[in-house]
Amino acid sequence: MNNDEKHISSYQSLTVVLVILLFLTAISVLITGFHLGALTVAVALLIASVKVFIVLTQFMHLKFENRFLRLAVTGVFALFAVVTIITFIDYYFR
């Protein structure tokens, strides 16, 4: 409710967002070509996470949404992270 009116994203800013996303895609494709071993997975997932964050905030307008929705989305991703951690703890220490 703190938002006064609907935010309208400009065509230019959306284009810039796309260029950044394509750039990150190129980096992740190039980096995995180097075969950095276990680090490859970490780097690829890190870049994917950055891309997802950009899509959520820019394309999906979360940056301009009310606090409740932003909190809800953050909470869902945090919940998934917790589920992942618990699953892996179960797998490694069973």
Partner 1 sequence: MTDNHTHTEHLDSETGKLGMWIFLFTELFLFGGLFLVYAIFRAKYSADFHLAAEELNAFIGTINTVFLLVSSMTAAMALTAIQKGDKRLTIFLLLVTILLAALFMVNKYFEWSHKFEYGIWPGSPVLKNMSHGELLFFGLYYMMTGLHALHVLIGMILLSINVVKVKTGAVNSGRFLMLENSALYWHLVDLIWIFLFPLLYLIT
Q: Which residues bind partner 1 (CB under 8 A)?
A: 6, 8-11, 14-15, 17-18, 21-22, 25, 28-29, 32, 40-41, 44-45, 47-48, 51-52, 55-56, 58-60, 69, 72-73, 76-77, 80, 83-84, 87-88, 91
Minimum gap (Å) between residue 45 Cβ and partner 1:
7
Minimum gap (Å) between residue 80 Cβ and partner 1:
5
Task: Using the minimum distance from each CB to partner 1, give the nearer residue, 11 or 93.
Answer: 11
What b/e readout covers 1-37, taking b as 16+ CB neighbours within 10 angstroms?
A: eeeeeeeeeeeeeeeebeeebeeeeeebeeeeeeeee
Minimum gap (Å) between residue 15 Cβ and partner 1:
7
Q: Which residues contact 34 (CB under 8 A, 6 or more apart)?
A: 40
Selection from 70, 71, 20, 72 nearest residue 50 by Cα: 20
Task: Using the minimum distance from each CB to partner 1, give the nearer residue, 15 or 93.
Answer: 15
